[in-house]
Amino acid sequence: MKPTRDPRVTLDDLVEVLLNKGAVLHLDLIISVADIPLIGVNLRAAIAGMETMLEHGMMRQWDEHTRAWVEGSSARRGLDLRDGERHVAQMHGGHLLEEGVYTAWRPGTVFLTDQRLVVLRRDPHEIMWQADLSAVRAVRPETERSAGGAPRTRVRLELDDDSTALLSAADPGALCDLLDRSLPGVLREELRPGASQQVLAEGHLWYQEPRRDGPLWRGGTGRLTPGGLVWKSPLDARPALAVPADDILGVHQVAGRSPGGEGTVLEVRTQSLGVLALAATDPAHWLASFRETTEKTAPAAPADAAAR
């Protein structure tokens, strides 16, 4: 618990520590004027993300009360539950309507119950899309470029009738996690949060986010596994990048400048997102790890080509 100083630590890193590990504050403060004590402060506080709080047995009663209130008020919020159906979660989101050549996002609210997944529009009241959980065969996060050029993570669902659906959600990672808990096995092992798997590279990584007023370097945490790359800033509610390994075409180091210094920029070519600019203080390690990933996912050469 000794204080440390790292010049690379940013506010993002502090927020990440508070959310993932938490902090306990013990403060005794006396404010004096002309050596006369006037105000005393005795503070005992715990600051952490809700998941960390619940893991340590804190705020459970408040959490259970809040969940019960949400469940009881779901009907007032527009979703009519079936007999015996239980509300699990809800968040802002939408559904991609794909009918022939017409494609458009329809915003609404995503409801998850213990029986189905629903995208509801309240005004006018309409269920835009729904599926029974028993019909969901596979779930995976999928990153694409928005109209403004910024990457957005969506949730792709594969159904038993061989159809697919693409949903947006305020927290796609949480939605995937909830679906994986409700339907064990629908989320690919390498995409499961906290899954035990080989980690090729993990650590601080900068991502150059495209913006209308020019690209911006953002600090965050990257994790590269045989399943792909996930990058998230501590200030974001969801990962900004979730790129499957089979979407990565190649990577090379360029002589650009980034917050990590000169020559620390990596350009990652992908099928769906084009070229991604990343930066690390140890680009050689990330470069070797990316190449290991692409070699494992590269299609095998035909036998006649290999002979030549």
**What pLDDT is recorded for position 194?**
47
pLDDT attached to residue 118: 95
pLDDT at 95 (0 to 100): 93
Q: What are phi and psi of 79, to 5 degrees?
A: -100, 120
Predicted local distance difference test score (pLDDT) of residue 308: 44
pLDDT score, position 190: 46
Q: Residue 118 in contact with residue 127, Cβ under 8 Å?
A: yes
Find, among 155, 163, 179, 117, the residue nearest to 242 by Cα: 155
Q: Are 12 and 219 in contact (CB under 8 A)?
A: yes
Q: Which residue has the tokens 């945490």?
A: 221
Q: What share of the chain is helix, strand, coil (3-state, %, to 5)?
A: 25, 45, 30
Position 295 scores a pLDDT of: 75
Rounded to whole angstroms, the Cα distance separating 222 from 229 reads: 7
What is the pLDDT at residue 212?
77
pTM of the model: 0.48
Q: Give the pLDDT of residue 195.
A: 47
Share of the chain above pLDDT 70, in %: 81
Residues 181, 163: Cα–Cα separation, whole Å:
22
Sites in the chain below the pLDDT cut of 50: 75-76, 190, 193-196, 300-308
What is the structure's pLDDT at 147?
55
